[in-house]
Copies of this chain bind each other. A is one copy, B any other.
Amino acid sequence: MRADATRNREAILRAAEELLAAHGAEHVSLDRVAAAAGVGKGTVFRRFGSRTGLFQELLAERAEALARAIDTPGSPLGPGSPPLTRLLAFLDELAGLAERNLALFAAHERACAEDKYADPTYVRWHAHVTALAGQARPGLDASFAAHALLGLFDADLVRHVMREGGVTRLRSSVRAFAEALLG
């Protein structure tokens, strides 16, 4: 990839973030992103393929730290902890991620409406939750439960829950739900 291509790629990602923060997920069209990044619209599509691709990459970037934490021993999240502990810690981190990136979650959701199970980040999360849920409570349909648990982070629901109680309420509701289901 040529130097200008790399530079533009970064500019587009940063512009998209800024627009998401400034106006809601609703008002971020790719025209706007291109304009804010100071590039042509064609460049956005060449780099990311589609609206879906752009938001998938943005989410992947924001989710990277979490992905690393999952594989690193030494925290409640990492390998070595009991499954239920790991799962609860993961969901707690996810709640934080959702809070800090609510607009991105919303935009991502909308963009992936078609075939959300094709998103790499979602697929990784689902595999992780499925494995842990299966260990924490054998006998349950773990894959289904994993979809349901990840469904708790639907942007609308997150916003709704946080409207009364902020992240704290979100974290405790998620935790209580998961414990009721698996504990």
B-side contacts of A161, CB under 8 Å: 144
Tell me whether A26 and B114 are in contact (CB under 8 A): yes
* A151 interface neighbour in B137, B141, B154, B176, Cβ under 8 Å: B154
For the complex, would chain A's binding face be called helix, strand, loop or mixed by DSSP majority?
A: helix
Contact with B along A145-183 (1 / 0, CB 8 A): 101100110101100110000000000010011001110
Is A116 part of the contact surface with B, judged by Cβ < 8 Å? yes
* A144 interface neighbour in B110, B113, B177, B181, Cβ under 8 Å: B177
Copies of this protein in the assembly total 2
Residue of chain B at shortest CB distance from A26? B114
Name the interface residues of A83-135: CB closer than 8 Å to any CB of B: 110, 113-117
Is A21 part of the contact surface with B, judged by Cβ < 8 Å? no
B-side contacts of A115, CB under 8 Å: 156
Given the known interface contacts A114-B26, A116-B156, the answer about A180 and B137 at a Cβ–Cβ threshold of 8 Å is yes
Nearest first, the 10 A-B pairs at minimum CB distance are A151-B151, A144-B173, A141-B173, A181-B181, A147-B157, A180-B181, A116-B156, A140-B180, A148-B152, A141-B176
What residues make up the interface of A, taking CB atoms closer than 8 Å to B?
26, 110, 113-117, 137, 140-141, 144-145, 147-148, 151-152, 154, 156-157, 160-161, 173, 176-177, 180-182
